[in-house]
Structure 1
Amino acid sequence: MPLTDIAIRKAKPKKKPYKLSDFGGLYILVKPNGSKLWRWKYRIDGKENVYSIGKYPTVSIVETRVERDAARMLVKQGIHPAHDRQSQKVAQVEDNANNFVAVSRGWIEQRKPKWTPHYLRQIEKVLADDVYPYIGNLPMRSITAAHLLAIIKRVEKRGAATVAILIRQWCGAIFRYAASHLLADADPAAMLKGAIDKPKVKHHQPLTKKDIPRFITALESYAGYRSTVIALKLLMLTFVRPVELRAAEWKEFDLDLAEWHIPPEHMKMREAHIVPLSKQAIELL
């Protein structure tokens, strides 16, 4: 006859442990100290084993029977329930250690040799300000698309849609990195593509043919720093990015060969670049 709560509560301790049987190999072991422990008896390879499910009433009758049924499925596969539970505990400990902050730092460490210092600072600041406070301590496998959607919508709401899109892209890269190291099973950010409308980018208007002579004339009469005038002229003569010119060092220039050797760390694509120098550029330098 199946056990009831009343029958279990009425069971009094004795000098020696004794059993109250439920059904399907399940029983309660009543100890002399009064504790009542759920046990399930099963066989694997003809050998009898006992699985400890928990303590009554912390684990109820219904919960115990559900656990017994799950354990029975494992036994059918030749798996000891206690071994499976221990494996799950180890996996959970590993998951807790592999939270979003830890994994994202691993991704950054791997990728940063290919980034400019400015881009590295941008990623670290955005993650620290907008992502870590909400999912930083969560295990990677527990983070869902809903978590990420709430983050990017929060950023979009403050008027930073471009940053929200970058967060989705960076989180996607972090999850792909995690999956490649068996720390995640999927990329929840992939489902959020299109969740944020990309703002229309308005580029600075280029100078027309008529504008260029007027700009150069105005530049010659500029009363500010002479270095600013030289820099603007060099930009027109070399077609480099402003950041590459600002970060330039004298050791990069070979005026005899009329070449400017820009090192990889100053280039967006992290590849060395050689810029031929015209006579006008050399004169300015």
Structure 2
Amino acid sequence: MSLSDLDCRHAKPATSAYRLFDSAGLYLHVMPTGKRVWRLKYRFQGKEKLLTLGAYPGVTLIKAREKRDIAKQTLETGIDPGQQKKDEKALAQFKQAQTVQLVATEWYNRNLPTWSPSYAKNVLSRLQQNIFPFIGQQSVASLTVQQLLVCLQKVEDRNRYDLAHRVLQMMGQIMRYAVITERADRDITSDMKGALKKYVKGHFASIEIEELPKLLKAIERNEARLFKQTILALKLILLTFVRTSELIQATWSEIDLKNKVWSIPAERMKMRKAHIVPLSNQVVLILEELSELFGQQGYILPSAFQKNKPISNNTILKALDRLKYGKLMTGHGFRALAMSTIKEKLDYRHEVVDRQLAHQPKSKVDKAYDRAQFLAERTRMMQDWADYIDSIAVSPKTAQVSELLYVSR
């Protein structure tokens, strides 16, 4: 005979535990403490087993029967409902232990081999400064849109709107990794479109070619009393227009003065592809001066304070600032200056300049050009660029060539 709710409510504790059976293996287990628990007795692969369905009255008689029916349906599919419950509990505990910091760190380490050192440093810094202190210990599975939004709004409160968007993009990658590795059910960042403040993306400050002679004179005079390697770094970035990180991390092992070639390995490039920089006569002379000053061991631009380390990431920017060009020019600005001027004044094709800038090919045509590399044409272009800079460094009053850059031999 099946139980009624009245039977359940009137079940009183006894000196020893006892059972009140309902039907199809379901019974109410009444303990001496008065606690009443629903259990299901069933057989799986010839063995008798028990499954706890919850405590009465929290789980009513009707609810207990529903849980019993679900367990029976699970049995019919060949799955042990008791083991399934254990697995689900273990998975829930596992997900709870998978914090944002743990998953983000795992994602970071998996991607680290494919990133340049400077990019990897930026990613880790963004995590450590903007994510970990606020939601790092939160379970990634239970992270909500609101929690992440509050975290990103802290970045916006610092007027770093561009950074907030970058951090959101990064969190999207982390959440998708969490979904793939079964630590989260979905990517919550997909619900955050339009959640952050819009901003106008700016460009790196760059002077026009007409303004370059004044900058050259400022560098030549060095009224800011910059270190010698800083002055030479400004010359090199102007003549080679590589990325700042590519220049300051350059070592003598990459330089071939005899063949006038600088070979930057793939692991130091933003696009993770080895890059060749043909060296003009002017650049070779600058490198020879650096060699005489500091030797040909380690970095070509050693720090003034620690010879075994290169100049810092901010050296170029700080130097320009001290030369009163802080708001007018950046390290990246030299790349923009070279791109526009070489095409306009020296009449080189976009593809040739673009390849020397080591940009990511955007189309099939660009990729075809990328494979060709235009090395011979790029070599001529780099010498023409250095000669052109020498030509505009001539003072209109004295008609003498500025000593900032060495005249091509």
The secondary structure found in structure 2 opposite 1:182 is: coil
- Tell me the secondary structure at the aligned position of residue 275 of structure 1: strand
SS at match of 1:140: coil
SS at match of 1:71: helix
- Which residue of structure 2 aligns with residue 247 of structure 1? 249
Shift of 1:216: 2.0
Q: 1:7 aligns with which of 2, 6, 10?
A: 10
- Between the aligned partners of 1:18 and 1:32, the Cα distance in structure 2 is 9
Letter in 2 for 1:235: I
State the structure with bigger RCO (CA 8 A, min sep 6), 1 or 2.
2
Mark the CA change 1:237 to 1:108 in structure 2 (over 3 Å): closer, same or farther.
same
* CA deviation after TM superposition for structure 1 residue 246, in Å: 1.5
CA distance in structure 1 between the partners assigned to 2:280 and 2:214 by the alignment: 22
Q: Pick closer, same or farther for the CA change 1:20–1:261 going to 2, 3 Å.
A: same
Taking a change above 3 Å as real, the CA distance of residues 228 and 62 of structure 1, as seen in their structure-2 partners, is closer
Is structure 2 residue 127 aligned with structure 1 residue 130?
Answer: no
- Distance (Å, rounded) in 1 between the aligned partners of 2:172 and 2:244: 30
Contact 1:71 1:81 in 2 (8 A): no
Instruction: Supply the AA of the counterpart residue of 1:71.
Output: R
Are the structure 2 counterparts of residues 281 and 180 from structure 1 closer, same or farther at C-alpha, using a change threshold of 3 Å?
A: same
How many angstroms does 1:3 deviate by?
3.1
- Matched residue of 1:123: which SS? helix
Q: CA 1:212 to 1:102, structure 2 compared with 1: closer, same or farther past 3 Å? A: same
Aligned to 2:71: 74
- Aligned-partner Cα distance in 2 for 1:141–1:110: 20
1:282 CA drift (Å):
1.0
SS of 1:282's partner is helix
The unaligned stretches of length 5 or more in structure 1 are none
How well do the aligned residues superpose, as a CA RMSD in angstroms? 3.0
Taking the aligned partners of 2:31 and 2:253, their CA distance within structure 1 comes to 83
How many Å separate the matches in 1 of 2:246 and 2:155? 31
Query: Judging changes above 3 Å, is the alpha-carbon distance between structure 1 residues 91 and 277 closer, same or farther for their aligned structure 2 residues?
Result: same
For 1:1-285, list aligned pairs within 5 A: 2-4=4-6, 7-8=10-11, 11-14=12-15, 17-20=17-20, 26-31=26-31, 36-40=36-40, 50-54=50-54, 59-65=55-61, 66-78=63-75, 79-223=79-223, 224=225, 225-285=227-287
Distance 1:31 1:281 in 2: 89
Q: 1:27 to 1:282 in 2, by over 3 A?
A: same
Counterpart CA distance in 2 for 1:235 and 1:136 is: 39
- Paired AA for residue 160 in structure 1: R
Gaps of 5+ in 2: 288-409
Higher strand share: 1
Distance 1:227 1:265 in 2: 24
CA distance in 2, matches of 1:25, 1:136: 46
Residue type at the aligned position of 2:59 = E
CA spacing shift, 1:268–1:198, aligned 2, 3 Å: farther
Deviation of 1:107 after TM superposition, in Å, equals 0.8
State the Cα distance separating 1:42 from its structure 2 match: 6.0
**More displaced, 146-155 or 24-33?**
24-33
TM-score with structure 2 setting the length: 0.60
SS for the counterpart of 1:53 is strand
Contact in 2 for aligned 1:40/1:52 (Cα 8 Å): yes
Paired AA for residue 270 in structure 2: K
Q: Does the residue aligned with 2:59 lie in a helix, a strand or coil? A: helix
The aligned residue for residue 364 of structure 2 is none
Letter in 2 for 1:283: L
Distance, in Å, in 2 between the alignment partners of 1:216 and 1:31 is 91
The percentage of counterpart residues that share the same residue type is: 33
TM-score with structure 1 setting the length: 0.82
Q: Distance in 1 between matches of 2:174 and 2:93?
A: 20
Distance verdict in 2 for CA 1:100–1:231, change over 3 Å: same
- Contact preservation (8 Å) 1:40, 1:68: no
